[in-house]
Structure 1
Amino acid sequence: MNDRTALAERFEADRSHLKAVAYRMLGSAAEAEDAVQESWLRAAEADVSEVRNLTGWLTTVVGRVCLNMLRSRRTRREDPLDAYDRTPGPGEGDDPEQEALLADSVGVALLVVLDKLAPAERLAFVLHDMFAVPFAEIGPLLDRSPDTARQLASRARRRVKGGGASPSGADPLRRRQVVEAFLSASRGGDFDALVALLHPDVVLHADRSVIPSPEPVMVRGAETVARGAMAATGRALFTGVALVDGAVALAMAPQGRLRVVLGFTLVDGLISGIDVVADPDRLDAFEIGVLDD
């Protein structure tokens, strides 16, 4: 068996692992597939006769390709903010539901934080913290020393944890349970479950960018708010529980790009207020963190 045959067999055996690395680096299933294909083209032309750990070597090849792709993103795609209630279109995955499930498996909040990191921070964190690649191998990918790579990963780790903040407010566990139940009922189209989570006098505020509309929108009453949640089922895609400015909230982020935040006020364990934010300036100001399991 020659080196190229061994490499091809190893690559196919590691394809799912390599796609997992690329997805966490890029936040897009389609881009991750492109990165894996580009990695094979590069790997196939390399001399691997002295490579002892082909899986580890292929992981660094994918990492370098993804790093270049991240650095080449000159501007972020600006989708219409009525994305709050829509099905993702071309470029956001061939199968939006499958892509949403993939986002769920990684964590929407984590994808949001990763999207905000500098490319070097993202590479160092993803490869080391998520795939156990040594800093001695990460440093050369970044043209940095291993110690610098370690510092980049540490900086990213603090961002992922929301600056080290813990969920704030009274009974954060109950708050998380209610927010998760709200998302589950919205996704499942369970009207009765939604109404049961809402205070009878609940008020929902949505800024002008959510619809969009000339003026902010206000909706009052449990059944009215629940009907609105049922009608806006598109928002449940690419939505997950996140720590937003220290409070448990929901973040909608196709491909890790934050588009909508739902903040909640609770009274006696029921949702008494929902603040729906889609204004880009307000979204940029939020500190997003990942809740511990």
Structure 2
Amino acid sequence: MMDNVSVVSTLTLSGFNGTASYRVTLFALTLLCYCVIWLVNVTIIVTIIVDKALHEPMYIFLCNLCINGLYGTAGFYPKLLSDLLSPTHVISYTGCLVQGFVLHSSACADFSILVLMAYDRYVAICRPLVYHSVMTKEKIGIFVFFAWLVPIYLVLMSTITTSLSSLCGSHIPKIYCINYLVGKLACSASIASVIIPAFNYTFYFLHIIFIVWSYMYLIKKCILSNENRSKFMQTCLPHLLCLNVVVISLLFDLLYMRFGSKTLSQSVQNFMAMEFLLIPPIINPLIYGFKLTKIRKRVMQILSWEK
């Protein structure tokens, strides 16, 4: 057994099986998607940074959401593009752990930032008189710092725990690596490798509960006031849409990963696996770009070279 463990230094990504005949087409489509992701996210980021009128909590959180979209996809698309043009589809054990860390931490950071956005809207609509005293620049900086630090720390602990396990296999049935699948290759599961991921899942499930509760409270509050109803439709609706996109995309992949049928074609399996790396990074910036008036007007001014 120990001899088998010692030779596992590279892992095989079997999700590419059957793509050889149309890999050039897939490469072109994937490259196009990645370019669109960069275009829409960088447009929102630059717009918020250069326009001082947009240096408000809601837009600062949105900027971080877009940065996180670029961070997460950077851990996936370059490797995918390389694999599509390569006859072999392998990844080093270290590279696999790094990719899993980036994808997991990006997904968790999405929820942390969405919690901040929900809290910001709650204070703005339900406690408008204390909004500026609660959402100060110092507090926003602290909020953003921990929105990045906590996911990175929690996922890092999970990744370190996974890396300490001895592997008895080298087959990853996907087109990318995640800690869960690497953990399934372990010869034996330690207590830490079970407890830490369970804690992380519970912790971010509570994030979802908080966001849902806050928006239910906001809806109840806004129904009674035309002014609040207008605020909700203008600033909260995009948040809700983005939350749905992120949650549905992630749940789609998580549920399939655990209960999915192997009778599905490899192409369908691959689409389901990469959905949360394809749809949210494109849809979320577009939702905010079209729905938030200040963002939309400023982007149009930049595109038309108006001052």
> What is the TM-score normalised by the length of structure 1?
0.27
The answer to which structure has the higher strand fraction is: 1
The answer to which structure has the higher helix fraction is: 2
